[in-house]
Amino acid sequence: MVNYFHQIEKLNSVNPTPGTGDTDSSPERPANPAPLLQLLLFVDKRPSSREQTRHIRQYLQDLKAECDFDLQIIDVGEQPDLAEHFRLVATPSLLKIHPEPRQTLAGSNLIAQLEQWWPRWKRSVEEYAAQQQSAPAQTAAAAADPKPIYSVACATELVQLSDEVFRLKKEQEHLQEQLQLKDRIIAMLAHDLRNPLTAASLALETLESSQKVKEGEKSRLTPTLAAHLMKQARRQIRIVDRMITDILEAARGTNAQLHIQAKKIELGGICQDVILQFEDKFQTKSLNLETDIPTDLPLVYADPARIKQVIVNLLDNASKYTPEQGTVNISILHRTAYKVQVSICNSGPGIPQEDCASIFEDSFRLQRDKSTDGYGIGLSLCQGIIRAHYGQIWVDSVPDQGTCFHFTLPIQN
């Protein structure tokens, strides 16, 4: 058994005073059995309690002649878990842990309490010894079990096991959340991927059929319509690619390390590229897109693919929640000498104030969105990406008036 105590002393093992004739350490004398009375004295290192502790130990040493006992002295500063386990409220405290029942004495008048209880403790030892004599098998088992050490060591192990159980429960809850997220993803995957895949497939099939016209027949597709179908197919495939990327990122878990390949980039150009991707979607809902992207923005140091992923997610949310003929605004501000700020706002229903602090949590979804398609992972990914760039991301929202998402990126100096 490992010794868990840094400050343990036993009064029954104090070196004999020279000249007393005590020969406990002599090899001819058999070892005494473990005393039945087992005590724990909890102390601390405060100067005001040292003298009191010394008096208690001296008083106990005097009582040892009346009834042998095992005493372990434990410093609560080095073993706080044991103090919590035995529910101590003050030091010094003296605990009788054997024979049962357990009893605790504490307070400034601890010696006076001990004087009162000592006769009863002696009597409990005599009664316990009498019971053991009437049951020889139990006596043999008790002799083989050195109670003074094992009782306290087991208490320490119980505290440690309790902490481990608590940690495992938290880990189990986290794993269950991840499994539930993956279950939701699998349940919605077929539906969410089917829509863009069907649109892309129809566009490509139409283009393919136009190429199979018989000789001499005129194609039913004009060049303008063919270009539009090709553009539609590409856009839908990009949507599928983004969805798969988000799903894979979520499957890696919240603690996954994001791989950032940063370089000097023009943030305005990336925003314009993403805006082109959403052109058709905005036209379908008759959304009004307002932009404020200066041409003299400084270069930022970032991963272009990751930043595009953030802007796509935020624009997708804006187009999703903005009602028909509503407004989406994208602006970039050279905020400080070290940062550039991107803001994407919409005139949608807004986010309840109590949910603004949770909106970036992994798999969090607003109550109004519980019955709609989605994973609740997009904003969590955005936050991870921006933090990996040493930037910040936050939301400002007023119910029924709209929402603005902002993030910052470092300037390339």
132 in Cβ contact with 124 (< 8 Å): no
Cα dihedral 65, 69, 75, 76 sign: negative
One digit per residue, the tens of pLDDT, for the chain of length 413 reads: 333 333 334 333 333 333 333 434 333 434 456 788 888 888 888 887 788 888 888 888 888 888 888 888 888 887 777 777 777 778 888 888 888 888 888 888 888 998 899 999 989 888 888 887 876 555 555 555 544 444 566 666 666 777 778 888 888 887 887 777 666 666 555 555 766 787 788 888 888 877 776 555 666 678 888 888 888 888 778 777 766 766 666 555 544 456 788 899 999 999 999 998 888 788 888 999 999 999 999 999 999 988 988 998 899 888 888 999 999 999 999 877 889 999 999 998 888 887 777 788 765 666 555 444 444 467 877 888 899 899 999 999 888 888 999 999 999 76
Domain ranges (residues) in the chain: 11-16+30-145, 172-209+222-256, 263-410
How much is the pLDDT for 287?
A: 92
CATH no. of 11-16+30-145: 3.40.30.10
Task: Output the pLDDT for position 187.
Answer: 58
Encoded tokens for 339: 């940062």
- pLDDT at position 66, please? 87
- Please say whether the structural domain 263-410 has been given the CATH code 3.90.226.10: no
Q: Is the peptide bond before 101 cis (omega within 30 degrees of 0)?
A: yes
Task: Look at the block and give the residue holding tokens 């403790």.
Answer: 121
Task: List % helix, strand, coil for the chain (3-state, nearest 5).
Answer: 50, 15, 35
- What is the 3-state secondary structure of 82-150? HHHHCCCCCCCEEEEEECCCCEEEECCCHHHHHHHHHHHHHHHHHHHHHHHHCCHHHHHHHHHCCHHHH
Neighbours of 70 (CB within 10 A): 22
User: Does residue 394 contact residue 338 with C-beta atoms inside 8 Å?
Assistant: no
Please, what is the Cα angle at 90 between 86 and 94, to 5 degrees? 60
State yes or no: cis peptide before 99, omega within 30 of 0. Answer: yes
- CATH number among 1.10.150, 1.10.287, 1.20.120, 1.10.10, domain 172-209+222-256: 1.10.287
What span, in angstroms and rounded, lies between the C-alpha atoms of 323 and 265?
33
Q: Within its chain, how far is the Cα of 355 from the centroid?
A: 19
Distances (CA, A) of 286 to 198, 282, 322, 340, 372: 23, 6, 10, 30, 22
The predicted structure's pLDDT at residue 335: 78
